[in-house]
């Protein structure tokens, strides 16, 4: 599968995701060439053995993991403790726990993850763990009970610019840390359309990072 992370990296995103779930059409098993150090490489996993996650962190020098399955708070805690060992990793790896949202969502499930995750991510519930291509009702986030920064995901595309602008003016967007985009900006799974991404960034008025190299 062709994947173009270096082209995406020229747009200076905060994070760049690599999917390590084999059933995915975007499954990554290639080589990651040098990426600017201010872009964090995030590995996406679905109910993977912790040993496999740790191996990928080490192999690809990942700065974060995004957990899309049924990973428990205990799983997250164990993973964070392993990556906090200075004998194996230079610094702890960020833990992003994903929660799928449909018409409703019970935010009380977040409580057990508060101490063991760095971020939450809200995605649209669908047939696949992610990349289903449609949004959920963002007004549900009015009930967000935490102060932990979260990623907003789920079918965000070029057609959502005005909705995003409105959302970012609402109180519920206060802790929205990242807009996670994927399938709506692809020519095919894994191959991002750079022009679409550039137009999206400009339309939202997002300031890109300056090249520090």
Q: What integer best gives the mean pLDDT of the chain?
A: 89
Report the pLDDT averaged over residues 182-196. Answer: 91
Considering only CA atoms, give the Rg of the chain: 17
Query: Taking 50 as the threshold, does the pLDDT of residue 212 lie above it?
Result: no
How far is it, in rounded angstroms, from Cα 107 to Cα 179?
A: 20
- State the pTM of this model: 0.90
CATH code for the domain of 129: 3.20.20.70
63-96 burial, b at 16+ Cβ within 10 Å, e below that, comes to: bbbbbbeebebebbbebbebbeeeeebeebbbbb
In a domain, 211, yes or no: no
| 22 pLDDT above the threshold of 90 | yes
Helix axes of 73-83 and 50-60: crossing angle, nearest 10 degrees = 40
In a domain, 213, yes or no: no
Q: Is residue 209 part of a domain?
A: no
Neighbouring C-alpha atoms within 13 Å toward the C-beta of 73: 8
Give residue 70's domain range.
5-204
**Count of structural domains within the chain:** 1
For the segment 27-52, what is each residue's pLDDT rounded down to a tens digit?
998 888 888 989 999 999 999 999 99
- Residue 37 within any structural domain of the chain: yes
85-123 residue pLDDT tens: 766 666 779 999 999 998 899 999 999 999 999 999 999
Residues 150, 176: Cα–Cα separation, whole Å: 5
Residue 57 placed within a domain:
yes
Whether residue 26 is contained in a domain is answered as yes
3-state DSSP: the chain helix, strand, coil percent, rounded to 5? Answer: 30, 20, 50
């Amino acid at each position: 599968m062709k994947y173009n992370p270096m082209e995406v990296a020229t747009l200076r995103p905060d994070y760049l995701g690599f999917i390590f779930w084999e059933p995915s059409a975007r499954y990554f098993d290639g080589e990651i060439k040098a990426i600017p150090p201010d872009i964090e490489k995030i590995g996406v996993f679905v109910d993977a053995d912790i040993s496999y996650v740790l191996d990928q962190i080490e192999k690809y020098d990942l700065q974060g993991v995004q957990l899309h399955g049924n990973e428990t708070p205990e799983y997250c805690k164990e993973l964070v403790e392993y990556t906090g060992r200075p004998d194996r990793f230079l610094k702890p790896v960020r833990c992003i726990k994903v929660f799928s949202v449909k018409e409703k969502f019970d935010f009380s499930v977040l409580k057990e993850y508060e101490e063991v995750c760095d971020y939450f991510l809200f995605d649209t519930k669908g047939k696949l763990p992610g990349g289903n291509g449609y949004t959920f009702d963002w007004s549900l986030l009015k009930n967000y009970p935490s102060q932990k920064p979260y990623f907003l995901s789920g079918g965000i595309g070029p057609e959502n610019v005005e909705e995003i602008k409105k959302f970012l003016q609402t109180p519920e967007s206060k802790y929205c840390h990242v807009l996670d985009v994927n399938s709506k900006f692809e020519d095919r799974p894994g191959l991002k359309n750079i022009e679409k991404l550039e137009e999206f960034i400009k339309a939202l008025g997002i300031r890109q990072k300056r090249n520090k190299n």
